[in-house]
Structure 1
Amino acid sequence: MITVTVPTALGDPTGAVHRLADKPVLAVRTGQTEWLAGDVPCYAAPARAATALARLAERAEWLDRPREYPKPTGVDLQTAQGIVARNREGWLPPDEVVRLLKAFGLPVLGGTLATTEEHAVAAQRAYDGPVAMKAVAEDLLHKSKGGGVVLGVAGEGAVAEAFRAFQDRFGDRLRGVFVQPMASGERELLVGVATDAKFGPLVVTGLGGVDTDLIDDRSAALAPLSTADADDLMRGYRAAGAVLEGTDEAAVRDVLLRVADLAAALPEVTELDINPLIVTSTGCLVVDARIRVAPAQPIDPFLRQLRRTR
């Protein structure tokens, strides 16, 4: 029988297994059924024992990371709570989405919700340049797929024509048209919130724009996020290295922390999708987003603490 012990003298340069000093971690007893001797697991094969030890050290190192939970500045929680109170259940109107995200200091492009053709023309004139026009209609969640987006619209005649086209397409379902100035950037990300029935709010990120429908490449973490959690999340999907190269990673991290703060502070926000989040070498910009609210459901706080259990 072979017993693996971590001596105090060895310690560990990373602190990963130092607290296990002078205690049996596991044992190998070849040819025997795997069993538990007191609080020491016994393995029948050295390879299985080595794998378990590697996982133990990996988790210990993860638990020993600095746990700093920065509080984002410039958050107007009272305004955000008021928006949720006014819209007790369902998808928020686009203008309310903009207000809620801005209340948490997120860099939102914004726009104008136009309910008439004349209003849409006036909005384009005020932006003094090409605009994106997005239909706001019942049961239209994926605007691009549903024919609810027109990009690069310039001139009063083109704006009026696009507005009428939405009226013809959606009829009585149309509630208005969201008019935004055009924006462009080097990379597009998705950042969102999903609510798990047992663990509560999760922050999700990954490839954004049209790529999010073609390639399911995302990472997720429980809210709220520590700085280390945000860094892991930011680089947790397969294409992260290529997507983030040359971009303002500090700005991406700040967006993740603010979205996590929103999810933790407003449990009524059961779904949030920022897509795309345009990322450049000098910052981020939320171009489009949707938010669904519902009465908050109780969650088990002990399950959420498992990620911090030593």
Structure 2
Amino acid sequence: MKKLIESAVEKGAKALSEYDAKQLLSSYGIPVTRETLVQNIEEALAAARAIGYPVVLKACAAELMHKSESGAVAVGIRDDAHLREAYERVAAATDIALQGVLVQEMVEGQRELVVGLNRDPQFGPCVMVGLGGILTEVLKDVAFRVAPFDTAEALEMLDELRCRDMLDAFRGQAPADKAALCEALVAVGRIGLEHTAVAEIDINPIIIDPRGRIKSVDALVVLNGSRH
């Protein structure tokens, strides 16, 4: 992963592509969506069949940091015919040279969290967790810790959230896997400590599925020298 980051910095990239960002997270044990980076429609069809419908398509490039705003995302793709139509649209949604198109599993879940990392000039890497999805900026229900910290402190972060009750058994859904969440928070801090070229991390959302399992659905890793 160090070589991946160094290569991106040498190329002057402002951020990692979503695919590369997820590879970084996964290498630290953070659960991410099952996904495949493809170069054409035939590869996309094969990937979707292997993952299982429904799937999501996303245009993928390091320069494409806000995909939904440019129409470069298609969700809820149910079958081959729908995928063929969506692939054409997503691949043509931007003039940016693409690394490829991501075929990603569709994760079902009503509970969403955001996890992030920023570098404070005084304290260094700081990890954040909060209520995710479209409500992140509105409700600002977040907790912070300076890295490094352990899983006990990560659990304290979760307990500080006003939305903490949704991590328990919730509307017929299983309790969230808090152990996995805490390990993910600690891991994000480790990334910040071990990779000084990483300026920011934004994982939004992490979806908690009805069984309580967590998965990072979207991820942005911003590199030093740039801000999105």
TM-score normalised by the shorter chain: which range applies? 0.7 to 0.9
Larger Rg: 1
What is the match of residue 96 of structure 2? 173
CA–CA distance in structure 2, aligned partners of residues 213 and 135 of structure 1:
25
- Sequence identity percentage: 34
Q: How many residues of Structure 1 are paired with residues of Structure 2 in the alignment?
A: 214
What is the match of residue 193 of structure 2? 264
CA–CA distance in structure 2, aligned partners of residues 155 and 223 of structure 1:
44
What is the match of residue 278 of structure 1? 207
What is the match of residue 255 of structure 1? 184
CA–CA distance in structure 2, aligned partners of residues 178 and 269 of structure 1:
23
What is the match of residue 220 of structure 2? 290
Provide closer, same or farther for how the CA distance between residues 250 and 230 of structure 1 changes in structure 2, counting only shifts above 3 A. same
Provide closer, same or farther for how the CA distance between residues 140 and 82 of structure 1 changes in structure 2, counting only shifts above 3 A. closer
Q: How does 1:91-130 map to 2 (within 5 A)?
A: 91-130=15-54
CA–CA distance in structure 1, aligned partners of residues 214 and 50 of structure 2:
23
Provide closer, same or farther for how the CA distance between residues 215 and 87 of structure 1 changes in structure 2, counting only shifts above 3 A. same
Give the TM-score, by structure 2 length: 0.83
What is the match of residue 27 of structure 1? none
Q: How does 1:28-47 map to 2 (within 5 A)?
A: none
| Mapped pair 1:83 → 2:4 | yes
| Mapped pair 1:196 → 2:117 | no
Q: How does 1:184-223 map to 2 (within 5 A)?
A: 184-223=108-147
Higher relative contact order (Cα pairs below 8 Å, separated by 6+ residues): 2
- Once superposed, what is the RMSD of the aligned Cα atoms? 2.1
Deviation at 1:90, TM superposition (A): 2.1
Render the CA deviation track for 1:174-232: whole Å, top value 9, x for unaligned: 51321111111241110111112232111011011222243322121111113342122
What is the match of residue 31 of structure 1? none
Amino acid at match of 2:2: Q
Give the TM-score, by structure 1 length: 0.63
What is the match of residue 74 of structure 2? 150
What is the match of residue 172 of structure 2? none
| 3-state SS of 2:108 partner | coil
Deviation at 1:166, TM superposition (A): 2.2
The list of structure 1 runs, each at least 4 consecutive aligned residues, that deviate by more than 6 angstroms after superposition, is none
